[in-house]
Amino acid sequence: MAKKFLYTSDSGPQGCDQDFYAIFKEMIQECSKSKKSILIFIHGRGKHPQKAFKKKIITDLENNYNSKVIMLHWESWNGPFDFPAGNARGRYQNLISVLKDIQAYVAKNPEKMNAIHVNLLAHSMGTLMLEEAIKSRPNFCKDTIIDNIVLTASASALKNHSSWISSIEFARNIYVVMNTLDPMLMLASLKMRGKRLGVANLRRLKGDIQFANNTKYIDVSSSMLPHRLYLHRYLIWAPFVKRFFNQVFAGEPAYLGEGANVKKTILDRIYIFNRS
């Protein structure tokens, strides 16, 4: 098991020796001068942390979303045919520790947080870490410490997902971004024995699926995006999806009015995006 679980663009693939509180404090000082947001990123399956640096995932997020990224690492590779869900869930205490450190800093330094936005991106199997944290300790944080939580290509199960997402109380806004054409999640649905949240077709779901009242669901299937659909390099031909990510990673609520960007709204919380 890797001892280090915090990675930044400055630390590189060797990771950070400091604890999260110290790193967060330094980033707050930097972002207060540069007017950047802070993005907590939980990566998905793959040969991380090396993959995040080789494919420039962290630098892409920082450069295109005007953010400083802190990546939470979990042991995400057991070979090409394995989906190590237990590894992601097993690291949930690291996420709780991170969120409690943010809570402690905000409580001690409320004035320093006035102009700083903190967002959380959980991607693919990384959402399992968030899911397990909420299920294990559902009431560990009731203070609003995160502006936007974004779940992209979520490998969490579609069935009963609302029971844990509805328990999240520490974020102003929660968004689940879904793509019915995601080939990785189609395979994950077979390997993990059940439809994954990130690949569900919201327009065809039956009434037995409950949706979380505190969450907005974004269907971007018409843009035909790949699995890591949050990266700017893939959003050239998806301007509405690009604008969505630009807004939420800046700490703003997403604009979701029907019209140019939203083709259809279902149940007041499901938004079907146009392609262009």
Q: What is the CATH number of the domain that holds 128?
A: 3.40.50
Mean pLDDT in residue range 3-20: 92
174 assigned to some structural domain:
yes
DSSP letters along the chain, please? --S--EE-TTTGGG--SS-HHHHHHHHHHHHHHHT-EEEEEE--SSSTTHHHHHTTHHHHHHHHHTEEEEEEP----S-TT---HHHHHHTHHHHHHHHHHHHHHHHH-GGGGTT--EEEEEEGGGHHHHHHHHHH-TTS--S--EEEEEEES--SBSTTHHHHHTT--SEEEEEEEE-TT-HHHHHHHHHTTS-BGGG--TTS--TT----TTEEEEE-GGG---SSTTSGGG-TT-HHHHHHHHHHTTTPPPP--BTTTEEEEETTTEEEE---
pLDDT above 80: residue 260: no
Strand pairing category for 6-7 and 67-72: antiparallel
How high is the pLDDT of residue 206? Answer: 63
More confident residue, 110 or 203: 110
1 assigned to some structural domain:
no
171 assigned to some structural domain:
yes
258 assigned to some structural domain:
yes
Q: How confident is the model at residue 182 (pLDDT cuts 50, 70, 90)?
A: very high
Range of the domain at 58: 6-273
Taking only the tens place, the pLDDT of each residue in 150-163 is 999 999 999 999 99
Number of domains in the chain: 1
Average pLDDT of the residues of the chain:
93
66 assigned to some structural domain:
yes
Q: What is the Cα Rg of the chain in Å?
A: 17
Mean pLDDT in residue range 8-16: 95
Q: How far apart are CA 172 and CA 196, in angstroms?
A: 24
Mean pLDDT in residue range 12-41: 95
pTM: 0.96
55 assigned to some structural domain:
yes
Question: Percent of the chain scored above 70 by pLDDT?
Answer: 98
